[in-house]
Amino acid sequence: MKRVVNYIFLLMLAVLVLNIGTVSAESLPFHGFVESSIGGRYDSPDYINDDLLLYETRAQLSYWGALGYNGEFQVKADIIKDNITDQADIKLREGYIWAYPSANFEIKAGRQVLTWGTGDLIFINDLFPKEYQSFFLGRDQEYLKAPSDAIKFSFFPQGGAIVDVVWTPSFTADNYLKGERLTFFDPGQGGNIEANLENPQFSAKLPEKDWENGELALRVKKNYQGNELAFYAYKGFYKEPNANQAGNGLEFAPLNVYGASWRNNVMGGVANLELGYYDSADDQAGDKWNIPNSSIKALLGYSRDLGNDFSVGVQYNLEHMEDYDAYISSLGANYPYLSEENNEQITLRLTKLFNKQTIRTDLFTFYSLSDKDAYLRPQFSYDWTDNINFSAGANIFLGEQDYTFFGQLEDNSNLYMRMRYSY
């Protein structure tokens, strides 16, 4: 299989390179890109043996076709040559059929990338899978969202409302930190552990594949007098694993989420508010040490274009843990890695375009007021031609404690570069 994938990849790359400048994108039966990426840590401690985090060539093929007058299909696949592991792979990113038999009903079935909510890199009611590890390595932001094998039903009743129902028959987790490429904090060892590509430190037991363990998500959305209103519901599991009761393995706890959001133009910019209640179905009293407590999450954001291709966005995010006293009792007051009852974060995004919008500079910063840790993501992008783009940036992690989310990643701070040819 590895030889076949390598052969396909090299053949396709050769065809594309030979045809650059001679074949227009419009004449190809498909479109996509070829991208080369490299990135690594810039200040590694002694316990890390390899600074290289990202070194790959990726080719994406995307094909769209019509299915009569009432449908279409989309297929998008990535062919990846990982030069760190010396392995090649083909990953289906999208492969769905989209049918719209009437003006009031649509159905989209197959592998698809799903998203909703109002946050900028903060997700409250969006419980679709994320690729955080990919994001922290320096891949394009589109790869932060992982695909789902799902069926999406959309209804458009009279009155201008939109009702979306997404059913995922088999639970899909986030690509969480598991000791594959990024070092992270292990409470059992009381410190950071080195990543191991061949043998990741952790793997979790997924829920059994049956009807009861599928995921169900609902959104009802409507524009009312310029206000974009939405209500959400989710039934499934936490997207990252927790320890089992015996403390000798990892599993995913059941989760129900109920939320709402609002967005509108305010003072020349766009303001948004999003709320979510996380109901920890197996820990109603909050006294199980291994399962997250129920919590309330709130996000307030504002973004504005200040002119001259310069825009600013700010956010405040609050996560309030319920039954905090029960949580303390379950772990013990002397447990050294206790979470705060109220976890507060703020974000800032600055974006500036130059040279007829062919150069884009962007800085996203995330700071936790409670954990005293931070994440900075500066990026630079240059459209050399209509087809060729160069990108560079960094993932910078800071923290006072090794056990907070971004503090544990401080040893993984990295720089990266990408060159992409789109066709």
Distance CA 398, CA 369 (A): 13
Q: Average pLDDT in the 224-235 region?
A: 97
pLDDT score recorded for residue 198: 57
- Residue pair 73/65 in contact (Cβ under 8 Å)? The answer is yes
Distance CA 131, CA 144 (A): 5
pLDDT score recorded for residue 21: 47
Confidence class of residue 18 from pLDDT cuts 50, 70 and 90? very low
* Partners of 280 in beta bridges: 255
Q: Is the pLDDT of residue 17 over 60?
A: no
pLDDT score recorded for residue 197: 64
Strand-strand pairing, 227-237 and 254-266: antiparallel
Reduce the DSSP state of residue 384 to 3 states and report it. Answer: coil
- Residue pair 379/365 in contact (Cβ under 8 Å)? The answer is no
Domain 100-422 has CATH 2.40.160: yes
Query: How crowded is residue 190: how many other Cβ atoms within 10 Å of its Cβ?
Result: 11
- Give the residue, 60 or 22, on which the prediction is more confident: 60
* 321-364 tens-digit pLDDT: 999 999 999 999 899 999 999 999 999 999 999 999 999 999 99
Q: Is the pLDDT of residue 49 over 80?
A: no
Query: Which residues lie closer than 8 Å to 189 by C-beta, 6 or more apart?
Result: none
Q: Round the CA-based radius of gyration of the chain to a whole number and report it.
A: 23
- Residue pair 155/104 in contact (Cβ under 8 Å)? The answer is yes
- Give the residue, 187 or 157, on which the prediction is more confident: 157
Confidence class of residue 30 from pLDDT cuts 50, 70 and 90? confident
* 307-320 tens-digit pLDDT: 999 999 999 999 99
pLDDT score recorded for residue 20: 47
Q: Residue written as tokens 């800071």?
A: 398
Where is 324: in which H helix or E strand? Answer: helix 324-331
Q: Is the pLDDT of residue 24 over 70?
A: no
DSSP annotation of 30 reads S
Confidence class of residue 196 from pLDDT cuts 50, 70 and 90? low
Which ranges of 20-145 would DSSP assign to H, the alpha helix? 132-137
* 215-228 tens-digit pLDDT: 999 999 999 999 99
Reduce the DSSP state of residue 206 to 3 states and report it. Answer: coil
pLDDT score recorded for residue 68: 81
Q: Nearest CA to 303 among 372, 224, 364?
A: 364
* 201-211 tens-digit pLDDT: 677 888 988 88
Q: Nearest CA to 290 among 336, 340, 249?
A: 249
Query: How crowded is residue 346: how many other Cβ atoms within 10 Å of its Cβ?
Result: 14
* 65-94 tens-digit pLDDT: 988 889 999 999 999 999 998 999 999 999
Distance CA 373, CA 137 (A): 19
Distance CA 174, CA 343 (A): 21
Q: Where along the chain do its domains lie?
A: 100-422
Please state, rounded to an integer, the average pLDDT across all residues of the chain: 90
Confidence class of residue 405 from pLDDT cuts 50, 70 and 90? very high
Backbone φ and ψ of 13, nearest 5°:
-60, -40
Q: How far is CA 305 from CA 226, 366, 418, in A?
A: 19, 20, 27
